């Protein structure tokens, strides 16, 4: 039984491969990126020629995974939590069509927003879609659950959601893996393809099937190896702990048993009987869960407050990540902190654009022009260039969700804002900027779009960008007038020319795109190395 | 037996390499290891840290509780102080004293040293200078690992073995220079702080 030192993300990837995965689909996003990267490095994936190229965005990833499942084979799609917003449409609807080959969607949440714009809890999507869901607490469970999830998915004919959180995704530990990876499914077309035609007449039937399966999903959860009732002497309180919150609970009782009865949750929908048993035995129930009060919400509803305590009741902090210290406090244990941070000498050290980065030249040029218009005219997006919001640049005024720079600039221009400038990265542009640009082209809205193109996805550590060398053609294809598609290499010496170009395009009363292209100074070499290694394993 | 370590520094200073080497050495001794890393946004010149836990017993949490760390091992002085709430009463702080001044309000270095010296158990040295002395400018992190080597609960030769494993693919020269850096950090820490364990 090989034992491998794996990140939580890598454990999922290995688990999927060992379950006979045929297709991996993903768009990068912290903390989920390492799942695809592991599969791209995996000799087994290369030998089996498992699909392992990045998708343009999370929606295309989930749809492709569904297509592979339609053809009978096992597929996985991975994304960060906000990626599931983008993929919500195919995800929710894949529960209506159901799946043929096992399909697992991994969504990695980021409590405390280490690298994200919110800390939304993906478990609500699982419940919304009415599909089974897993929440690992250890790397070993991440591996075991990934393997198990494909079988369950095929057994119940539904996609399965695997919910990760940053801490587990990016923590490494030894994982026991199987000796022989499972075989891949053979390709075959569905025997009843009509179920994939979600015309109302079919969708209504399929929806009833989904509803009908729910009680079976609860039965699966009751007997799941990942849900456990652990008895305890002290019945003054019972604890329901899920995912990594369970670890933080255990950390507070090293080498001992937890004195209270504990229900450990790793598989959803919630095992009702197990929870009812706990309720009947104890005076109150503490819910420890990473993320939103998801379990607590289901236990208390609107009216039955009192017996359940957790994030809603303020016994556990309402926001932010848990850790062993916080859980110790919640349990009323003696704090062990011995030293404070000497705040007078420890200053904040925010992330910054790397010295020599092309985004800097773009912003320096842009700032020269925008000075006379005052703040409020620059709509931006998500990527390394978002750091342009901080000093010394203070160059951008928005960052909301991927692609929103172009569309928000358009809306502001519609409202009369002149000039309205959008700054977007190359990968964000192909993720979801292109459709917004088409909107602007249709109406010839006066916006100036700057694509700051470093020819890779830098924010997430240097992955291939789908925009590569295609930006001019894409913009032409979308209908931007060729005279107003401008290109430049952003360098310190070209800042004045960038400024001049921006000014000219601002003065034009229509859609223009300025493409500023220079490879990322930090990740280009390592990406080339990765690409070469991939070619090697493919031989 | 357990050792809980907080590694800290600035993005790009190689704390994950230190973590990997310690982990290899611990695994060689059949210990359990959990190592939580920081990926994403803050890697870009911001503060980075890693919690590294070694134990002969099963490890529950990926994160160390406040007051639980036996060692803070830092490649940057201001960063060494950021994680003090994690340090146990008896724990050691071992840090490189060479600052990375990529923020406008970086504190005076004397003040940092004063704060470090207030801790009951501390070791500090200029690893960047030592690394330059042996023409191994990329090995300041390994010098700090050497300085902290008495506090890891691991045998020195296991660390050497782990360095071999970590750098083998880059050639014997790189292995040797890093072994030298490890030794230099160990010797220099002993020379400056003879009372250390
Ligand atoms: C929906 C969604 N998916 C993924 C991410 C994670 N993410 C943030 S920025 C980014 C890509 C940035 O690439 P690019 O636009 O080329 O800018 P760069 O970082 O290379 O400067 C990604 C994948 C996200 N924030 N939201
Ligand atoms: S990683 Fe690349 S794109 Fe990001 S700030 Fe550094 S040089 Fe710029």
pLDDT digits 0-9 by tens, A82-107: 999 999 999 999 999 999 999 999 99
> Does B51 map to a domain?
yes
CA angle, A475 then A481 then A485, to 5°: 55
Q: Which residues pair with A378 in a beta bridge?
A: A421
Q: What percent of chain B clears pLDDT 90, i.e. is strictly above it?
A: 91
Spatial distance between the Cα atoms of A152 and A102, rounded to a whole number of angstroms: 8
User: CATH fold of A358-523, please?
Assistant: Rossmann fold (3.40.50)
Nearest CA among B60, B91, B90, B74 for reference residue A323:
B60
Two structure tokens written together for A346:
């420890």
Tens of pLDDT, residues A388-443? 999 999 999 999 999 999 999 999 999 999 999 999 999 999 999 999 999 999 99
Judged against a pLDDT cut of 70, whether residue B23 lies above it is answered with yes
How far away, in angstroms, is A454 Cα from ligand 2 center? 8
Query: Could you write out the DSSP letters of every residue in A266-333?
Result: -EES--HHHHHHHHHH-SEEEEE-SSSSHHHHHHHTTT--SSEESTTTTSS-SSS---HHHHHHHTTP
Provide the 3-class DSSP secondary structure of residue B161.
Answer: helix
Residue of B nearest to A139 (CA): B34
Judged against a pLDDT cut of 80, whether residue A454 lies above it is answered with yes
Closest approach of B138 to chain A, Cα-based (Å) = 16
The answer regarding whether domain A3-222 maps to CATH 3.40.50.970 reads yes
Report DSSP state, residue A231. Answer: -
Tens of pLDDT, residues B133-175? 999 999 999 999 999 999 999 999 999 999 999 999 999 999 9
Is-contact A328 A335, C-beta < 8 A?
Answer: yes
Q: What is the ipTM of this complex?
A: 0.94
Name the pLDDT band for A533 (thresholds 50, 70, 90).
confident
> How many contacts does A have with B, using Cβ atoms within 8 A?
156
- Cβ A342–B81 below 8 Å, yes or no? yes
Name the pLDDT band for A379 (thresholds 50, 70, 90).
very high
Provide the 3-class DSSP secondary structure of residue B6.
Answer: strand
Residue A522 CB–ligand 2 contact under 6 Å: yes
Name the pLDDT band for B7 (thresholds 50, 70, 90).
very high
Count of C-beta atoms within a 10 Å radius of residue B27 = 18
Can you give the residue range of the structural domain that contains B12? 2-100+108-192
> Does B41 map to a domain?
yes
Is-contact A149 A160, C-beta < 8 A?
Answer: yes
- Cβ B66–A167 below 8 Å, yes or no? no
The arithmetic mean of pLDDT across residues A249-271, rounded, is: 97
> Measuring CA to CA, how many Å separate B119 from each of A186, A434, B80, B92?
64, 56, 12, 8
What residues does CATH 3.40.50.970 cover in chain A? 3-222, 358-523
How far is the first Cα of chain B from the last one, in angstroms, to the nearest whole number? 17
Tens of pLDDT, residues A59-68? 999 999 999 9
- Cβ A338–B88 below 8 Å, yes or no? yes
Q: What is the pLDDT of residue A305?
A: 64
> Does B165 map to a domain?
yes
Is the model more confident about B46 or about A58? A58
Nearest CA among A147, A72, A133 for reference residue A270:
A133
Query: Ligand 1 pocket: which of A402, A434, A518 to mutate (most atoms <8 Å of CB)?
Result: A402
User: CATH fold of A228-330, please?
Assistant: Rossmann fold (3.40.50)
Two structure tokens written together for B47:
């503060």
Spatial distance between the Cα atoms of A105 and A150, rounded to a whole number of angstroms: 10
Tens of pLDDT, residues A103-113? 999 999 999 99
Spatial distance between the Cα atoms of A299 and A293, rounded to a whole number of angstroms: 10
> Does B197 map to a domain?
no
When CB atoms are compared, the residue of A31, A344, A351 closest to B42 is A351
Query: Could you write out the DSSP letters of every residue in B40-69?
Result: SGGGTTSEEEEEEEEESS----SSPPTT-E
Element (H, E) at B180: helix B172-192
Pairing of strands B2-10, B47-55: antiparallel
Query: Could you write out the DSSP letters of every residue in A350-415?
Result: ---PPTT-HHHHHHHHHHHHHGGG-SS-EE--SSGGGGGGSTTT----B--STTHHHHHHHHHHHT
Spatial distance between the Cα atoms of A517 and A475, rounded to a whole number of angstroms: 15
Cα-flanking dihedrals φ and ψ of residue A263, to 5°? -105, 120
Q: What percent of chain A clears pLDDT 70, i.e. is strictly above it?
A: 99
Judged against a pLDDT cut of 90, whether residue A36 lies above it is answered with yes
Spatial distance between the Cα atoms of A137 and A295, rounded to a whole number of angstroms: 16
Q: How many domains does chain B have?
A: 1
Closest approach of B186 to chain A, Cα-based (Å) = 26
Is-contact A446 A421, C-beta < 8 A?
Answer: no
The arithmetic mean of pLDDT across residues A323-329, rounded, is: 98
Tens of pLDDT, residues A39-54? 999 999 999 999 999 9
Element (H, E) at B95: strand B87-96
Spatial distance between the Cα atoms of A486 and A368, rounded to a whole number of angstroms: 18
Q: What is the pLDDT of residue A89?
A: 98
Name the pLDDT band for A535 (thresholds 50, 70, 90).
confident
Q: Which residues pair with A106 in a beta bridge?
A: A78, A162
Two structure tokens written together for A123:
């478990």
Is-contact B182 B159, C-beta < 8 A?
Answer: yes
Residues B109-115: contacts with CB under 8 Å, at least 24 apart: B109/B77, B111/A344, B111/A345, B112/A345, B112/B77, B112/B78, B112/B81, B113/B77, B115/A342, B115/A345, B115/B81
Mean pLDDT of chain A, nearest integer = 96
- Cβ B32–A171 below 8 Å, yes or no? no
Provide the 3-class DSSP secondary structure of residue A186.
Answer: coil
> Does B25 map to a domain?
yes
Spatial distance between the Cα atoms of A108 and A348, rounded to a whole number of angstroms: 27
**Nearest ligand to residue A467 Cα:** 1
- Residue count (chain A): 539
């Amino acid at each position: 039984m090989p034992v491998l030192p794996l990140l939580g993300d890598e454990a999922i990837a290995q688990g999927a491969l060992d379950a006979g995965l045929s297709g991996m689909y993903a768009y990068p996003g912290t903390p989920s990126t390492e799942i695809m990267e592991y599969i791209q490095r995996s000799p087994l994936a290369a030998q089996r020629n498992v699909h392992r190229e990045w998708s343009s965005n999370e929606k295309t990833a989930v749809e492709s995974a569904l297509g592979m499942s339609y053809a009978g084979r096992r597929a996985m799609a991975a994304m960060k939590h906000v990626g599931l917003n983008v993929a919500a449409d195919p995800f929710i609807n894949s529960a209506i069509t159901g799946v043929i080959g096992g399909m697992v969607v991994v969504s990695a949440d980021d409590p405390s927003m280490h690298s994200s714009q919110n800390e939304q809890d993906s478990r609500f999507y699982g419940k919304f879609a009415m599909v089974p869901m897993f929440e690992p607490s250890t790397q070993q469970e991440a591996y075991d659950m990934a393997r198990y999830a494909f079988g369950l998915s095929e057994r119940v004919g539904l996609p399965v959601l695997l919910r990760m959180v940053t801490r587990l995704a990016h923590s490494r530990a030894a994982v026991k893996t199987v000796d022989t990876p499972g075989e891949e499914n053979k390709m075959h077309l569905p025997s009843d393809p009509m179920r994939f035609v979600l015309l109302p007449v079919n969708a209504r039937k399929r929806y009833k099937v989904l509803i009908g399966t729910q009680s079976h999903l609860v039965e699966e959860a009751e007997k799941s190896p990942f849900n456990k009732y652990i008895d305890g002497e002290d019945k003054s309180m019972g604890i329901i702990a899920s995912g990594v919150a369970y670890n933080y609970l255990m950390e507070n009782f090293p080498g001992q048993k937890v004195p209270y009865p504990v229900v450990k949750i790793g598989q959803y929908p919630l095992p009702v009987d197990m929870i009812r048993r706990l309720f009947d035995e104890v005076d109150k129930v503490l819910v420890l869960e990473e993320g939103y009060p998801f379990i607590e919400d289901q236990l208390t509803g609107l009216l039955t407050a009192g017996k359940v305590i957790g994030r809603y009741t303020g016994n556990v902090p309402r926001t932010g990540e848990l850790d062993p210290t916080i859980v110790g406090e919640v349990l009323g244990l003696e704090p062990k902190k011995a030293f404070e941070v000497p705040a007078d000498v420890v200053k904040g050290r925010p992330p910054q654009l790397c010295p020599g980065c092309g985004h800097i030249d773009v912003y320096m040029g842009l700032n020269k022009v925008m000075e006379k218009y005052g703040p409020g005219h620059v709509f931006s997006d998500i990527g390394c260039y978002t750091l342009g919001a901080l000093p010394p640049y203070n160059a951008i005024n928005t960052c909301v969700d991927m692609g929103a720079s172009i569309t928000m600039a358009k809306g502001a221009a519609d409202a009369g804002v002149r000039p309205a400038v959008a700054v977007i990265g190359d990968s964000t542009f192909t993720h979801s900027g292109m459709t917004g640009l088409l909107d602007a082209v249709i109406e010839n809205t006066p916006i100036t779009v700057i694509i700051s193109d470093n020819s890779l996805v830098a924010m997430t550590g240097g992955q291939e960008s789908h925009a590569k060398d295609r930006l001019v053609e894409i913009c032409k294809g979308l209908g931007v007038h060729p005279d107003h598609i401008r290109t430049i290499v952003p360098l310190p010496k070209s800042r004045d020319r960038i400024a001049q170009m921006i000014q000219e395009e601002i003065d034009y009363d229509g859609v223009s795109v300025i493409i500023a292209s220079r490879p990322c100074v930090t990740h280009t070499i390592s990406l080339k190395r990765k690409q070469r290694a991939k070619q090697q394993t493919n031989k | 037996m357990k050792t809980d370590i907080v590694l800290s520094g600035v993005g790009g200073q190689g704390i994950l390499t230190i973590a990997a080497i310690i982990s290899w050495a611990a695994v060689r001794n059949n210990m359990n290891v959990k190592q939580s890393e920081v990926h994403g946004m803050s890697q870009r010149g911001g503060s980075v840290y890693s919690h590294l836990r070694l134990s002969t017993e099963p490890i529950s949490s990926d994160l160390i509780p406040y007051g639980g760390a036996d060692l803070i091992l830092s490649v940057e002085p201001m960063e060494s102080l950021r994680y003090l709430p994690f340090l146990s009463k008896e724990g050691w702080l071992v840090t490189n004293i060479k600052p990375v001044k990529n923020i406008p309000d970086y504190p005076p270095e004397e003040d940092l040293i004063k704060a470090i010296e207030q801790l009951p158990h501390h070791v500090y040295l200029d690893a960047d200078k030592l690394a330059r002395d042996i023409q191994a400018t990329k090995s300041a992190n390994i010098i700090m690992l050497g300085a902290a080597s008495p506090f890891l609960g691991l045998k020195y030769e296991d660390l050497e073995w782990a360095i071999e494993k970590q750098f083998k693919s880059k050639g014997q020269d790189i292995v040797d220079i890093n072994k030298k850096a490890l030794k230099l950090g160990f010797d220099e820490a002993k020379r400056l702080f003879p009372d250390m364990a």
